[in-house]
Amino acid sequence: MRTSIHRLRGRPRLCLTGALAVLLLFLSSSPAAPATPVPPDPTGGPITRGNAYMGIGVLAHDGASDAPPPAPRATQTEGVDVSSHQGEVDWRSLWDSGVRWAYTKATEGTYYTNPYFTQQYDGSFDAGMVRGAYHFATPDTAGGAAQADYFLAHGGGWSADGKTLPGVLDIEWNPYGDACYGKSASAMVTWIRDFLDRYKSRTGRAAVVYTATSWWSECTGNYAGFGPANPLWIARYASTVGTLPAGWSSYTMWQYTSSGPSVGDHDRFNGSQDKLREFATG
């Protein structure tokens, strides 16, 4: 490797030659490291802001078990979760198939609202289902309290009418970048707490936390402090729920598949239909 120094307007200028120049050329042309893989948009398009949906990272990071899905149980009640990807939903058909509750994506960050929200949210109610709304969290775009306010302003509220479920914080892998949204475990816990505290202070009801055990362990350090107050919606595509995140000894809801017999992801409420209405009432 050779270098030489020349003068330019009285200042030294370093000229790079030989092997060093070749090395710099190689580095400038090397491709960037690939991003963390995520499932594609179900419609076949690219994943862009607003396209995220409940469980978007579960298959990519946890996969699906080869075991058959759980058998129907009289002590559990079937549900679905939907987003804009499902478009207008045939709720009567879902009711006839045994679905008794539903969650609709309302918002993402502080920049997106589901254009099909009214048809999905009101339609499930009109079909006789107990229904609620969820918020897809993006902790790298705005604070937890700000996102809770945005959620509440766009369909995420709750009322004790026996048919409205408490709002859900969908906190999982970032489909647009770093899995933990660039936050340390302690910063992530603070963000989640800010969202949950604001939702509780404005509605009087504790929000449900939707997550997967592996993400929770990685991105919150398996924090155990939310279990006593906030119901858990666990995501695991298998015949059993497996290990739950720290702080929860049981789950309230379980997303057990992303490929159910009809529209949307399929879920189980851990109780009878009467218990479901009790849960909705608070």
Q: 81, 108, 149, 267: which is the annotated catalytic residue?
A: 81
- Which residue is it, tokens 């592996």? 214
Helix (H) or strand (E) holding 24: helix 19-29
Query: Which candidate, 279, 249, 281, 232, places its Cα nearest to that of 77?
Result: 279
Q: 62, 78, 108, 170: which is the annotated catalytic residue?
A: 170
Residue 118 has, within 13 A of its CA and on its CB side, a CA count of 1
H helix intervals, 30-130: 58-61, 91-96, 117-126
Instruction: Look up 172 and say whether it is catalytic.
Output: yes
Instruction: Look up 62 and say whether it is catalytic.
Output: no
Query: Which candidate, 158, 173, 152, places its Cα nearest to that of 110?
Result: 152
CA separation (Å) from 68 to 72, 75, 199, 240, 247? 12, 19, 37, 10, 28
* CA torsion through residues 191, 194, 196, 198, sign: negative
CA distance 240 to 247: 19
Q: 78, 108, 172, 265: which is the annotated catalytic residue?
A: 172
- Do 137 and 171 form a contact (C-beta atoms < 8 A)? yes
Instruction: Look up 126 and say whether it is catalytic.
Output: no
What residues are annotated to the active site? 81, 170, 172
